[in-house]
Amino acid sequence: MSIDPHVFVIFGATGDLTKRKLIPALFHLMQNEDIAERCHVLGTARSDWSDDKFRSVAKEALRNADFDEADIDAWCDQRLFYQSLGEDGADFEALQHRIEDIEEQFDLPQNRAFYLSLPPRTYGPTIKQLGEQGLSESDGWTRVVIEKPFGQDLESAKELNDTVHAAFREDQVFRIDHYLGKETVQNLLVFRFANAMFESLWNRDRIERVEITVSENLGVGDRASYYDSSGHVRDMLQNHITQLLSLVTMEPPAAMEGDEIRQEKVKALRAVMPPSPEDVVFGQYSEGEVGGERVPAYTDEPDVPDDSDTETFVALRLEIANWRWRGVPFYIRSGKRLDKKRTQIAVVFQRAPIALFQPGGEPCIPEEAGCSAEPNVLLITLQPNEGFDLRFEVKSPETNSGDMQLDTQHLSFSYRDAFGPIPDAYTTLLRDVITGDQTLFVRSDEVEASWRLYTPLLDADLPVHDYPAGSWGPDETFELLPSWVDGDLRDDGRR
């Protein structure tokens, strides 16, 4: 798809996301797709920065991200601009003039992307101002990109959708979820719908349970002012993890097109039953050890109140009331300061009806105590070693009938071994914004379907259990499911 000349306006251009992700992604696109002539970036924020200041921060960010030195200075000096922006109409009028000046100077058509990399409470007012100033329409295309979190609960998400729709048509709106830009997340669709072998097993007749683990070993870092008022349900579960859930559970779309895919994702989400409180575990990390280092408790992190009861961990069990999934439990666990950084989906298949290979030789029924029978497991690893791993049983050499022993082996595929390094999610997603492809962005009804599931939990005042940093969460997680699939087997990328 071709890239039209345009102005890419970043609201929140002095912030962390702009520096760490947006500027590197735009630069990467410029280098790989040679879009320099076609993409002019106008940064805005309240800070009284100049073009030069914005450029020097961008240059430093690109050098820190290890980009090839050659093009950095020229790109930043020729293509980056900055305009400070307050909150009233006059400021937005000045912004409009600045955009028009750039378009005139470089002879650009009126194609504009507005990226809201702002504190979430300012999304609504900023969108209103764009609408009121007539910046939501132009002679070319106009698109608005909205960062997560989209709302704080169902009601606020609906209000924000109303505000957005008062200014923009849905086909102009790109609600970003960076997990959807990850290569392996997209590959879930290919894996499911290009490999008929797995798709025919992908249902309640063959699958015993599905586990989704999204763990981080890092703590809250310097983001407490945002995170403490959000918590893990809003930060990870409502968006990234729910996207994974819908990609695993959706029906095949009629075509691989944006709205067809999003339609199926919404249908899948609508069939998920809101979890009951007894199927949910909230946790918060206490002091512990991660990667051999002592780390503080959440409440001792900078800017976290001593008495904070914000959840930094959530585990839950979900059921899906549809023909494909009825009766198959979906277990999710995710948190900060866990043992390892890992994003994995484990599909646990039903075991053989009778376990024939037992010590002593007597067959038994897998569900009965004392009977040992391993299920086949398909492990889809999204981070850190992207790939697939199918576990199956083989005969241990030199053990014989009567005392035959089994061993679990693996069929593995590693993305990196096959294709080398994979692009950053933001590069993929910014390219889609510029080319107008909404497939990997979240639709308004999708956001609301997701909030419908979790808003009752946020209102329920659930107990928050302690877990030591470096563990796998509170003990109650193992009451929910005693035998979570051990993902360590993929840590070397191949076993």
Ligand X SMILES: O=C1O[C@H](COP(=O)(O)O)[C@@H](O)[C@H](O)[C@H]1O
Distance CA 213, CA 344 (A): 5
Name the active-site residue from 40, 240, 410, 465: 240
Per DSSP, the residues of 227-289 read: HHHH-HIIIIIIIIIHHHHHHHHPPPPSSSSHHHHHHHHHHHHHTEEPPPGGGEEEEEEESEE
| 343 or 444: CB nearest ligand X | 343
Q: Is 455 annotated as a binding residue?
A: no
**235 is annotated as contributing to ligand binding:** yes
* Closer of 56 and 122 to ligand NDP (Cβ): 122
Please tell me the count of residues contacting ligand NDP according to CB under 6 A.
16
Write the CA distances from 225 to 68, 233, 412, integer angstroms: 34, 16, 41
Where helices occur in 407-443 by DSSP H, the ranges are 415-419, 425-435
What are the contacts of 102-106 at 24+ separation with CB within 8 A? 102/7, 102/40, 102/42, 103/7, 106/5, 106/40
Instruction: Classify 68 as helix, strand or coil.
Output: coil
The answer to whether the annotation marks 491 as part of a ligand binding site is no
CB 60 within 8 A of CB 23: no
Can residue 228 be called a binding residue for ligand X (CB under 6 A)?
no
Q: Is 240 a catalytic residue?
A: yes
Q: Does 65 bind ligand NDP (CB under 6 A)?
A: no
When asked if residue 343 is in the footprint of ligand NDP (CB under 6 A), the reply is no
Residue 257 makes contact with ligand NDP by CB under 6 A: no
The strand ranges marked E within 121-226 are 142-146, 173-175, 207-215
Among residues 153, 211, 228, 235, the one that binds ligand X under rule CB under 6 A: 235
How many angstroms separate the CA atoms of 170 and 140, rounded?
17
15 in a labelled binding site: yes
Does the footprint of ligand NDP cover residue 422 (CB under 6 A)?
no
Closest approach, Cβ 125 to ligand NDP, in A, equals: 8
436 forms part of the interface with ligand NDP (CB under 6 A): no
133 binds, among ligand X, ligand NDP, none (CB under 5 to 8 A by kind): none
From the CB of 479, what's the least distance to ligand NDP, in Å?
32
Distance CA 472, CA 474 (A): 7
Contact region for ligand NDP (CB under 6 A) — 13-21, 31-39, 284-292, 419-427?
13-21
- How far is residue 463's CA from residue 482's CA, in Å, rounded to a whole number? 20
How many residues sit in the footprint of ligand X (CB under 6 A)?
4
Report the catalytic residues.
240
Annotated binding-site ranges: 12-19, 46, 148, 178, 182, 216, 235, 336, 341
Contact residues for ligand X, defined by CB under 6 A: 216, 235, 343, 383
